[in-house]
Amino acid sequence: MSKKFSLIIFTDLDGSLLHRDNFKFEEIKDYLKILIDKGIIIIPNTSKTEKEIREFLKELGSDLPFISENGSSIHGLNLINSNFPNKIVLSRDKQEIIKIFNSEVSDKLKTKCKFISDMTSKYQGKIFGLQNNNLKNALNRKYTIPFLFEGDKIEKNKLIKILKSFSLTVQEGGRVLNLGDNTNKVKSMKQVLKIYKKVENKIKVIAVGDNFNDLDMLKNCDIPCLVFNDQFKQDQINIDNLIVSNKPSPEGWADVIKTALVKLDY
């Protein structure tokens, strides 16, 4: 029997598919492979760098399309269809972004922004929970600049407003803030779907996340899934038909996907 629709899963990685602290996913590795073998398209959509995602795919043992650095670049759509592009860049590079930051943000606000790249490797590792090559890959960013903000909420909002006037954004992740271009996970997701709809008009989309920077992605899909995060208050979220796991990642990822597939009768 032919499938009623094509199914795409856009998923965050850290804290959603990967364990929040050790970044492992061994418990659900076989399940991921089952989904891929069924023809389900899984697209990591994450703040991670290209190198970090490629390390994840190497560990998974599968080559998947992916979106890196909070929607900055899309990779491997030609894996879905050979006529699709291999790479799409939606962001200005980080040198141009930091140039705007340095010229337009006041000195007072600049002092509140502590860029991770300026810290010692020991402190960088503490913030990211990574060491050695894994830390190097996390810092190898082409489009975004991670930082900590040491000001109050008013100062933070002022910074965001200034950056917004130059089409720059501040994305909030689980560990750091990311200074970047006017891109995000949902814009890149919509770009992928626009391309895919050229060859397939019957598509269902599942989106999986665990944090603030995933919410827009969850609001713009057919089946939104939230993986349990004890640092994130679920009552702050107003998303229809939201599936929420009782377990954290990685098991929580498998739980929400199984529930979503039942909802879709897939």
The predicted pLDDT at position 212 comes to 85
Give me the helices (H) in 21-152, please.
29-37, 50-60, 94-104, 107-110, 121-128, 132-139
- Report whether pLDDT(146) > 80: yes
The arithmetic mean of pLDDT across residues 96-102, rounded, is 97
Q: Answer whether 91's CB lies under 8 Å from 106's CB.
A: no
Model confidence over 52-84: pLDDT tens digits? 999 999 999 999 999 999 999 999 999 999 999
In whole angstroms, give the CA distance from residue 187 to residue 168. Answer: 14
Model confidence over 192-209: pLDDT tens digits? 999 999 999 999 999 999
Between residues 240 and 96, the one the model is more confident about:
96
Q: Give me the residues paired with residue 80 across strands.
A: none
0.75 cut: is pTM over it?
yes
- Report whether pLDDT(1) > 50: no
Q: Is 120 left (phi over 0), alpha (psi -120 to 50) or beta?
A: beta
The predicted pLDDT at position 234 comes to 66
Q: What percent of the chain has pLDDT over 70?
A: 97
In whole angstroms, give the CA distance from residue 133 to residue 43. Answer: 24
The arithmetic mean of pLDDT across residues 140-159, rounded, is 96
The arithmetic mean of pLDDT across residues 109-130, rounded, is 96
How many angstroms from the chain centroid is the CA of residue 61? 20
3 state SS of 224: strand
Q: What percent of the chain has pLDDT over 90?
A: 91
- Report whether pLDDT(20) > 70: yes
Dihedral of CA atoms 98, 99, 104, 110 in degrees, nearest 10, equals 40
Model confidence over 210-258: pLDDT tens digits? 988 899 999 999 999 999 988 776 666 789 899 999 999 999 999 999 9
Buried b (16+ CB within 10 A) or exposed e, 57-95: eeebeeebbbbbbbbbbbbbbebbeeebeeeeebbbebe
The arithmetic mean of pLDDT across residues 36-58, rounded, is 97
DSSP assignments along 182-216, one per residue: S--HHHHHHHHHHHHTTT-S-EEEEEEE-SGGGHH
Is 233 exposed, middle or buried, given 0-12, 13-18 or 19+ CB atoms closer than 10 A?
exposed
Domains of the chain (ranges; CATH) run: 6-89+184-263 (3.40.50.1000), 94-181 (3.30.980.20)
Nearest Cα to 71, choosing from 155, 162, 180? 180
Report the mean per-residue pLDDT for the chain.
Answer: 95
The predicted pLDDT at position 89 comes to 98
